[in-house]
Chains A and B, each alone.
Chain A
Amino acid sequence: MGVTRTPTNITQGSQTKGGIGESTLRPDGTLKVTGEFAYSSDLWHEDMLWGFTLRSPHPHARIKSIDTSEALAQAGVYAVLTHDDLPTEHTKYGLEYTDTPVLADGVVRHHGEPVALVAADHPETARRAAAKIKVDYEPLPVVHDEASALADDAPILHPGRDDHHAGQVPHPNIVHRQPIIRGNAEEAAQRADVIVSGEYEVGMQDQAFLGPESGLAVPGEDGGVDLYVATQWLHSDLRQIAPVLGLPEEKVRMTLSGVGGAFGGREDLSMQIHACLLALRTGKPVKIVYNRFESFFGHVHRHPAKLWYEHGATKDGKITHMKCRIVLDGGAYASASPAVVGNASSLSVGPYVIDDVEIEAVALYTNNPPCGAMRGFGAVQACFAYESQMDKLAEKLGMDPVEFRQKNAMSQGTIMPTGQVVDSPAPVAELLRRVKAMPLPPEKQWEAAGDAADVRALPGGLSNTTHGEGVVRGIGYAVGIKNVGFSEGFDDYSTARVQLQVINGEPVATVHTAMAEVGQGGVTVHAQIARTELGVTQVVIHPADTQVGSAGSTSASRQTYMTGGAVKNTCEAVREKVLEIGRRKFGTYHPAWATAELLLESGKVVTDGGEPLADLVDVLEGETVDIELEWRHRPTEAFDLVTGQGFGHVQYSFAAHRAVVEVDTELGLVKVIELACAQDVGKALNPLSVKGQIQGGTTQGLGLAVMEEIIVSKDSKVRNPSFTDYLIPTILDTPTIPVDVLELADEHAPYGLRGIGEAPTLSSTPAVVSAIRAATGLALNRVPVRPEHITGT
């Protein structure tokens, strides 16, 4: 190879149109607005059957017998499957622990657990046949909280655990426990002039993605199966599906269908194995689509949590110490609980400098619905508690809550409670400054407007419950910290394949990854990166499937960093190759081929001085460059299981919010008037998409603050599995969301970017609650805040 290496910095391709930093439009946008984009629930196949899942009405019961004969005898029914019909001895799956039965094996552990499957020629036939399956249950005592999980006579939900944490947990009903000890909190507490403590509670939130769990399994002639499905991580699904089917992974060919949102709720399997089992049994394509009722049982939720916190501070406003204990309800199966515990504990201090801490986080096994990944997991629950504590401390010290936070804000160089030094920008105080500096919305607009006042802008809205009397404004602030990417020593990598060739006289790049596009805009960004790195205009995004290496999950705010990084890395290798070809073909025509730094810009090979040397089309004439490479972020370490010390996270992400609310104090109705956000994104690869992510995340945090909760009764049954009773913000509930984007590069990350998807979901919730407290003077230690919490009725 020649002496010159192509520069890998940001200047490459910066002249090429449609590259990074521009708000280019979604490549799938046209199909999505015409209704042609094929979501997983839209798939159709000649001769296709419909699958349906029979689920347990009990949260905990022994199955004494199952009689499927009547169901099987129904006209139009092709198959009925129970646990006994599973083809191999691998009858369980799971993200971290293999503890979840594909179909209940003699016992059900939560309301809605899959018990049997039906395939029929019409969805209603399948549903009615399932109702004819006779299951004889013997209800068992229910574990529903920490006390009942750890009681002396508590039923052990997973006897004989063999997962990698089984040996260390203090009780078999504890999924995982992570303590973190740093400094000496007892001693530091002696220096405190004020001490505040609190007990906080976060309700069970649902991802409520709009596209229901769905997919189509088509049996193959080779005995394998083709599965078209909406998921967050194709290869993780594959690893869990293939053993249950008794097939080698090559015979389970997965293709990503259109995904209607995810937010963590598609990290675990739902209908994947079920559809494959039915397809292999019947020899026909099988489609399964959950309706909304079933969807509430078909995926994990955000862990509800109880959090105990104590902080101390000196008179001049420096925090002395923090102690906390966080109990997360993991429900019946482990799902992502161990990672949620890791996040909750390691981020429990928040974005503050506190040297002396004592932290403990645990997740429980209970008979409640399984909980796992949802946007910001672990960090969302902690943020509500520590930000509530910050307000309490500031109040007790008589300080301004923003100033108090700024005084204790972390920055680059701060040591985390895990001992990890934060080695990239952490502009916490600056984000608070920015969000506070934004202009406030006008007060009492209903008075100023007089007769023209619009009730739609008041609490209660069109219900016309007030014309301003009893309405009080409140303002609240919050800031949070989230990790980016997979942590705790996980080998986190992504794969990208990039092809460059001449098609119809133009250089065209094809980018092939297994990244799940769930709406976040990864496909847009991949095209931008390819344009920037290869100097081409035309980029084709290949559909995501398992014919290329793993891209990891579309979660943990990691895809732009990881698969974006992988695309960049492969493009760099492609560029090297192109220049090598160029030197071979044209090197003798111009000395710069050997001496200059060469770039690919706007379809040409140019010197770094801008002198064109050759057209890409001529260089690529008769050649195709095709490279697939894996790319990793720098390694992390597991947290020590006793002290919690370790370089556990690869990157941190920060956002701050200011909430302005108006509360009808008589009726307890809250109207959020504005929810402003300032966030550091490192580098905005696509500013329009970045804002969309921040606004969407902010709105989900608003939902948790005042609306969203899956109600689980004391006997562990789900009470509100519908959009009638589980409310997510509508356009009337959602305020304007001004966004201030800061771009301080992280030198460890591709282009300096920072994962952004989750941080805005953290601080939104406590900011809204803080504003409601300011308006009402109430303590409000639980989210979501309901009208009765405000009126005290």
Chain B
Amino acid sequence: MRLTFNVNGRQQEADDVWEGESLLYVLRERLGLPGSKNACEQGECGSCTVRLDGVPVCSCLVAAGQAQDRDIVTVEGLADQAKKRAAAGCAGGACGTTLDEAKQWESKPADGQSGEASTSPLTLSPIQQAFIDAGAVQCGFCTPGLLVAADELLERNDSPSDADIREALSGNLCRCTGYEKILDAVRLAAARAGAETAGTGA
């Protein structure tokens, strides 16, 4: 079958899709968007999380055909999505956690970026930057799914409590970090958005 849908703001088509293929497979293998991960393909790990018409879903459990004519945002589209939100006057958090409350974040700004990263002069969304700064990325296999889930959380709740963060991310497994730095990253992104809003008087 042929599928038409909108991925990260762009109209996309996929041909010869077999009806048993998941949305995850089509994104990764047919559209060249391998950012969404395939850690279980059983709906249990969240590494494949994308937004389908705004709602976070496990794309490994969505039959590709169900995505016909719908809007999908993957990790590859997070930075653009954040830019659009900022332009629309919502910086992903209007008020929120103060910087002091995010004090568990300890990384000091250092150049740190070398090698591969220096060739990739991308603008990152606030949650992407916070994951790097807080040390929330180790192997990084859980990261794309967590970023999509955390971004959605901050969109609807600009100053989440720790319990809110844990609840929102409870469907995303991470085997490396013990989650502490992931919590730090979400707190940090919320705090930065709050500080920015306060700073501009918005």
Contact = CB atoms under 8 A, between A and B. Distances in A.
Physical interaction between A and B: yes
Interface of A: 17-18, 22-39, 41-42, 44, 122, 124, 207-212, 258-263, 289, 291-293, 454, 456-457, 462, 518-521, 523-524, 527, 537-541, 687-689, 691-692, 695-700, 722-724, 728, 730-732, 734, 736-737
27 contacts: A27-B112, A30-B113, A30-B122, A31-B120, A34-B75, A35-B33, A35-B34, A36-B120, A41-B38, A209-B139, A211-B37, A258-B140, A259-B139, A260-B141, A261-B175, A289-B38, A291-B38, A519-B176, A523-B115, A524-B112, A688-B106, A688-B181, A691-B135, A696-B175, A697-B178, A723-B40, A724-B44
Contacts of A291: 38, 40-42
B106 A687 contact: yes
Contacts of A261: 138-139, 141, 175-176
Contacts of B138: 261, 519-521, 692, 696
Given A34-B76, A122-B18, A210 B44 contact: no
Contacts of A524: 112
Contact of B76 (A35, A210, A691, A732): A35
Contacts of B107: 23, 25, 688
Given A29-B117, A692-B181, 18 more contacts: A23-B107, A23-B135, A29-B132, A33-B147, A35-B34, A35-B75, A44-B29, A210-B141, A292-B41, A292-B44, A456-B166, A541-B114, A696-B177, A696-B178, A700-B175, A723-B42, A731-B170, A731-B182
B107 to A, nearest CB: 5
B174 interface: yes
Nearest to B41: A291
Contacts of B137: 26, 29, 32-33
* 9 nearest CB pairs, A to B: A35-B35, A519-B139, A260-B141, A32-B140, A695-B178, A723-B44, A25-B112, A699-B178, A42-B34
Given A25-B132, A35-B75, A209 B175 contact: yes
Contacts of B169: 731
A261 B175 CA distance: 8
Interface in B9-63: 18, 20, 28-29, 32-42, 44-45, 47
Contacts of B129: 33
Contacts of A41: 34, 37-38
A519 B140 contact: yes
B111 A18 contact: yes
A687 B105 CA distance: 12
B65 to A, nearest CB: 15
Interface SS of chain B = loop
A541 B116 contact: yes
A39 B141 contact: yes
A263 B113 contact: no
Nearest to B148: A35
B163 interface: yes
Contacts of A29: 113, 117, 131-132, 137, 140
Most buried by A among B112, B113, B174: B112
A689 B178 contact: no
Contacts of B174: 210, 731
Contact of A540 (B44, B114, B128): B114
Given A28-B140, A456-B167, A737 B115 contact: no
Most buried by B among A33, A122, A540: A33
Interface in B67-88: 74-76, 78-79
Given A35-B36, A36-B120, A210 B132 contact: no
B173 interface: yes
B117 A31 contact: yes
Nearest to B104: A736
A737 B76 contact: no
Contacts of A737: 178, 180
A97 B93 CA distance: 58
Contacts of A24: 110-112
Contact of A539 (B44, B114, B175, B183): B114
B128 A28 contact: no
A723 B165 CA distance: 22
A124 B139 contact: no
A350 B45 CA distance: 36
Contacts of B38: 41, 212, 289, 291
B133 interface: yes
Contacts of B173: 210, 723, 728, 730
Nearest to A702: B178
A463 to B, nearest CB: 12
Contacts of A730: 170-173
Contacts of B122: 30, 34
Nearest to A38: B34
B124 interface: yes
Given A42-B34, A210-B142, A734 B179 contact: yes
B175 A25 contact: no
A36 B138 CA distance: 15
A77 B28 CA distance: 22
Nearest to B181: A692
B143 interface: yes
B101 to A, nearest CB: 14
Contact of A34 (B18, B44, B115, B124): B124
A699 B39 contact: no
B92 interface: no
A724 B178 CA distance: 20
B108 interface: yes
B194 interface: no
Contacts of B20: 124
A732 B167 contact: yes
B144 interface: yes
A555 to B, nearest CB: 15
A27 B124 contact: no
B18 A124 contact: yes
Nearest to A509: B114
Contacts of B181: 688, 691-692, 695
A26 B111 CA distance: 10
Nearest to B162: A736
B175 A728 contact: yes
Nearest to B33: A35
Contacts of A519: 138-141, 176
Given A456-B166, A724-B44, A30 B117 contact: yes
A332 to B, nearest CB: 25
Contacts of A537: 111
Nearest to A723: B44
Contacts of A37: 140
A524 B132 CA distance: 12
A289 B18 CA distance: 19
A28 B135 CA distance: 12
Contact of B131 (A33, A258, A292, A696): A33
A292 B116 contact: no
B112 A18 contact: yes
A612 to B, nearest CB: 21
A261 B143 CA distance: 12
B110 A17 contact: yes
